[in-house]
Structure 1
């Protein structure tokens, strides 16, 4: 019997297609699912994509639930819980990803686990936000739903328009997530795990005068060899989430390593370009072993 494993992602995007290719090579079955075209009928218990009931598949791999993080993306995960309840094995589970889509949910989980993070303040009060900026000196205001530094604003307490810029940020982000700017020394790290096991670490090295090192801002991937203590920090950071494939974002600062976040979907491109590892193949093999068991 050939396992039927669908890939939820963005049709045409490299990582989605690479994962679908890896599964097709191993099973002969290929299905890329765009959640924008999935319909849930609770009366019949059917979760339809085109003419395929996703509840009839053996498994689903969530490569990307949405190109843009938003509360709307959380609703897509809730829909997938119906397939999970019907016995479809999902990687990573909707419940695990739900705790990571919202930056605050991820941060609180990391803080409760004792993971070192940059000093962070969350508030809806603009006066409290200004007080946090004054205390931090320089801070990054981050939307609760965003990736690759999109929508983030770097503010300095001495800027004459700081209060106006806080007000502008709050207009789009009523709950303000304010994090002291860390000294990244031109790079930060992506530590890759599969099923909780350490795979490799890559660095994102800044190539411009941008305050962040994301690829979106011109950063480049490079190999990095962490020491055992750093690997253990990454392991502890990802452990509470129970993800299939993930990347832990770590920065090395003068005061020691800090964790920014744990990725809901992992860095396939970083693993390939930074570590020379085909994560799609590793994930496909892992998923098929789990489905078979």
Structure 2
């Protein structure tokens, strides 16, 4: 069997994309970082081209990052990849799973149907209902349907005036089709990223927030630390990610005064939290999982490399 050729759909130059491509190249000798903005589907020839590379000829594609910013256009890119998937190219994660998580609403509904504890959440198109919900919740967060790393989120405080709340709701709706409103929860200054590879638990890290920011994201000055969860918390993370069929993911969990809640399950998940918080090379773990899934054992790759060295000598 020839060495597998696995491409990485990602953002060229971004650390998580490049480190994943590095780990694949170390194992297989093949490297391809695919920018979806430069991909062309040729239905007349049954090709999915990225420059001179036909993605239909690959053994698999790892969807590390399908776009820099989530938007409805991101779903168009998923449709292109699903064409290759239906033709036999293995996708990590499957396109239907990624598609369910690009839109925050569909991802939330899957968690709700899986009976996963979440903060109180209301969704409506009606501005007056949205206003009443914010006032009922006291403090609330408006979340865009397409966003990552808290981008575009707006926090409304209990002490905000009615006029300020209405202004915020109007501003939010200018770029959103629907109000997605979530009640704020009391954190201890951190939330958790629980990492799973192929549905198996790998590790958990904490994102510790900057005291000057309302969220704990690294973009807002947070930092990573190791966290050792108990079996019950790991089981919660396992149940949350099991609502989807994901090859690699991070489950965002918050420890609150009313028990743990799940904020979201990532469509892709990053590697830096596991590396800096847990000291674990999650990219390597993911590559080993993918190579096994396409029918190639890591030991086979090592043996192949040794044979190449002998032939060269």
- TM-score where L is the length of structure 2: 0.92
| Alpha-carbon distance, 1:267 to partner | 2.3
Equivalent of 2:196 in 193, 196, 218:
193
Structure 2 residue 53 is matched with structure 1 residue 44: no
| Alpha-carbon distance, 1:157 to partner | 4.0
Q: Deviations over 1:184-217 (max 9, x none)?
A: 1100000000000000000000123211000011
- Which residue is equivalent to 1:211? 214
Q: Distance in 1 between matches of 2:169 and 2:222?
A: 27
Partner SS for 2:206: strand
- Which residue is equivalent to 1:109? 110
Aligned residues: 293
| Alpha-carbon distance, 1:23 to partner | 0.4
Q: Distance in 2 between matches of 1:203 and 1:277?
A: 14
Equivalent of 1:231 in 189, 212, 234:
234
Partner SS for 2:152: coil
- Which residue is equivalent to 1:248? 251
Gaps of at least 5 residues in structure 2 are 297-313
Q: Deviations over 1:196-249 (max 9, x none)?
A: 000000000012321100001100000000010000000000002110000000
Structure 2 residue 274 is matched with structure 1 residue 271: yes
Q: Distance in 2 between matches of 1:225 and 1:163?
A: 42
| Alpha-carbon distance, 1:42 to partner | 1.8
Q: Deviations over 1:104-159 (max 9, x none)?
A: 01100000110000000101111001100011000000000000100000012431
- Which residue is equivalent to 2:139? 138
Partner SS for 1:260: strand
Partner SS for 1:172: coil
- Which residue is equivalent to 1:149? 150
Q: Distance in 2 between matches of 1:274 and 1:71?
A: 33
| Alpha-carbon distance, 1:266 to partner | 1.1
Q: Distance in 2 between matches of 1:77 and 1:44?
A: 20
Q: Distance in 2 between matches of 1:188 and 1:250?
A: 6
Q: Distance in 1 between matches of 2:106 and 2:134?
A: 22
Q: Distance in 2 between matches of 1:3 and 1:128?
A: 54
CA contact (8 A) 1:142 1:177 kept: yes
Q: Distance in 2 between matches of 1:158 and 1:278?
A: 44
CA contact (8 A) 1:195 1:245 kept: yes
Q: Distance in 2 between matches of 1:190 and 1:109?
A: 19
Instruction: Say which one has the larger Rg.
Output: 2
- Which residue is equivalent to 2:299? none
Q: Distance in 1 between matches of 2:270 and 2:255?
A: 19
Moved more, 168-177 or 57-66: 168-177
- Which residue is equivalent to 1:261? 264
CA contact (8 A) 2:16 2:270 kept: no
| Alpha-carbon distance, 1:56 to partner | 0.6
Partner SS for 1:55: helix
CA contact (8 A) 1:7 1:62 kept: yes
- TM-score where L is the length of structure 1: 0.98
Moved more, 219-228 or 167-176: 167-176
Partner SS for 2:237: helix
Partner SS for 2:3: coil
Partner SS for 1:241: coil
- Which residue is equivalent to 1:56? 57
- Which residue is equivalent to 1:182? 185
Q: Distance in 2 between matches of 1:241 and 1:141?
A: 24
